[in-house]
Amino acid sequence: MQKKLLILIFLILGTALFGAGEYPCGVLMENISGSDMAFGLYGGTANVWYLSPQSIINNPAKLGFLDGAMLGYSIRQNYPDDKNRDDVYIHSSSVAYGKNGFGVILPFVNGYGKIGTTKFLGKFDEYDEYGNYIVTRKFYDTYQPFGIGINITKYFKKYSGILDDINFGVGVSIQSVQSDYSITEGKSHCFNTGLIGKYHKDFIKSIFETSIGCYFQNIFKNDIYYVDSSQSDVLPISKRFGGAAKYSLTLSSRKGTFYNFIRNFTNTFFSVVLNYDYADFDYWQTYNIGTEIAFFDIIGWRLSYYSESTDDNEGFIYSVGLHINYKNNYKFQFNFSGLDNSNGTYEPTVLDFSLGYVF
C-alpha cells in the first residue's frame, strides 16, 4: 500500500511541480503582487511606485524606497476559468518596514495557516487495501521571504548633496522553501539580490521620474530533493531587467475646499507610467510592456502586453488599482490584475491588499 501511495504522490509531483516551465517549486516564480503583475506576468522589477510587501518580493532593492510599516496580503488563482483546476490558489502575506532609506521584509501568517507564500496544488483521498477511507492529503509549496534593502543615496544623504535627484538602492533576500507533500518533504533556500536606480526631477507644473532595475533569483543555483539527494532538481533561476518612467501633472495652486481636501492625499492631478520588463528563466524568456494612467495618485487603470518565447504564448493583462496615502501617514492599497492570453488555458488573476503607517 505504501508503495502504491508513493507512486501516486510522484505522479502528482510530476504534474504539479513542473507545470510552469521546467522548474520545481514554481511558486517562487509567480508574481503575487497585483500592482507589479499589472506591468507583466513577471513584471515590476523597477516599479518603485505604490510599494507594498507583495511588490517588494519581486526585488529586495525596493526596500530602500519604502517609508513606514506595511502589512500586505494577496490571493492568486492560476486557473480561474478551469473548473477542473479551481483549487490551485496562492495565498501570500508579508510585513515590511522602511525608514531613512533602509528597509526589511518578513513573512506573515497567510490564509492556509502557514507563514509567507503558500501554493495549494491539490488533494487526494487515501484508502486502505479494503477500500476504506483513511485521510485526505493536501499538497503545498511554501516559502518565507526575508530581505533587507538600502537606498544608498538617501541613507547617506548628508554625504551626497550633489545627488538630490538620484537614488540608488541595493537589496538581498532569502526565500526559505518547503515543499510539503505529507509523506515526502523537500526543503531548501533561494538567495536573491537586486539593484534599482531612480531619477527624479521637479518642474514648475509637473514631475518626471524614471527608474531602472535588475533582479537575480537563486544566485547560488540551489536545488531541492524529496527522497534521494542524488535526484535533486534546481530551484527556479532567473535574471530580470526592467525600466519605467512616470510623468505627473501637479495640482494648481488654487484654493478651495476640493483642492485643500485633495492635498491631504497627493500633490498630483494626473500621471502616466510606461514600463518594460524582461525575464530570462534559462528555459524560456518573457518580455512585458505596460502603461498606467492615474488620477490624483489614487485610482489607476493599467494595461500591459505579455509575450513568452515558448509556445508563442502572449496576451494582455488588465488591471485596476486604488491607493490611499493620507497626509503621508496612513496608507491603503487595493490592486487587481488578470491575464487574458492567446491559448486561454493559463490565465491567472491576482488580488492584493496592503495597510501601512508612517511613524
Flag the least confident range among 60-74, 151-165, 193-207, 240-254. 151-165
Of 74, 141, 139, residue with least CA distance to 110: 74
For 299-337, the DSSP string reads: EEEEEEEEEESSTT-EEEEEEEEEEEEETTTEEEEEEEE
For 100-119, the DSSP string reads: TTEEEEEE-B-TTSSBSEEE
Burial 139-149 (b: 16+ CB within 10 A, else e): bbbbbbbbbbb
DSSP secondary structure letter of residue 251: P
What is the pLDDT, as a whole number, of residue 311? 65
| Per-residue pLDDT at 17 exceeds 60 | no
More confident residue, 53 or 19: 53
What is the pLDDT, as a whole number, of residue 78? 84
How many residues belong to the chain? 359
What is the pLDDT, as a whole number, of residue 139? 84
**What are the residues facing 211 on neighbouring strands?**
198, 244
More confident residue, 271 or 129: 271
| Per-residue pLDDT at 12 exceeds 50 | no
Find out whether 39 and 47 touch, Cβ atoms under 8 Å.
yes
Whole-number Å distance between alpha carbons of 135 and 318: 41
Burial class (CB in 10 A: 0-12, 13-18, 19+), 316: middle
DSSP secondary structure letter of residue 183: T
Instruction: Give 320's Cβ-side CA count (13 Å radius).
Output: 2
| Per-residue pLDDT at 300 exceeds 80 | yes
What is the pLDDT, as a whole number, of residue 209? 96
More confident residue, 144 or 252: 144
Flag the least confident range among 25-39, 66-80, 138-152, 250-264. 250-264
pLDDT digits (tens, 9 = 90+) for 322-336: 999 998 899 999 999
Find out whether 63 and 95 touch, Cβ atoms under 8 Å.
no
The arithmetic mean of pLDDT across residues 294-317, rounded, is: 89
Of 281, 289, 268, 172, residue with least CA distance to 237: 281
What is the pLDDT, as a whole number, of residue 18? 44
pTM for this entry? 0.88
Topology of domain 2-357, CATH: Porin (2.40.160)
Find out whether 250 and 266 touch, Cβ atoms under 8 Å.
no
The arithmetic mean of pLDDT across residues 97-114, rounded, is: 94
| Per-residue pLDDT at 181 exceeds 70 | no
Phi and psi torsions of 39, nearest 5°: -100, 15
The arithmetic mean of pLDDT across residues 269-275, rounded, is: 95
- Taking CA atoms, 261 is separated from 84, 107, 267, 326, in Å, by 49, 36, 11, 10
Quote the cell numbers at residue 109.
Answer: 501568517
**Consecutive H or E run containing 85:** none
What is the pLDDT, as a whole number, of residue 214? 97
Of 331, 205, 350, 312, residue with least CA distance to 264: 331
More confident residue, 66 or 80: 66
Domain limits, the chain: 2-357
What residue type is 215 in one-letter code? Y
What is the pLDDT, as a whole number, of residue 15? 39
Flag the least confident range among 50-59, 101-110, 162-171, 187-196. 162-171
Find out whether 240 and 279 touch, Cβ atoms under 8 Å.
yes
What is the pLDDT, as a whole number, of residue 5? 46
The arithmetic mean of pLDDT across residues 20-26, rounded, is: 70
pLDDT bracket for residue 11 (50, 70, 90): very low
Phi and psi torsions of 25, nearest 5°: 50, 55
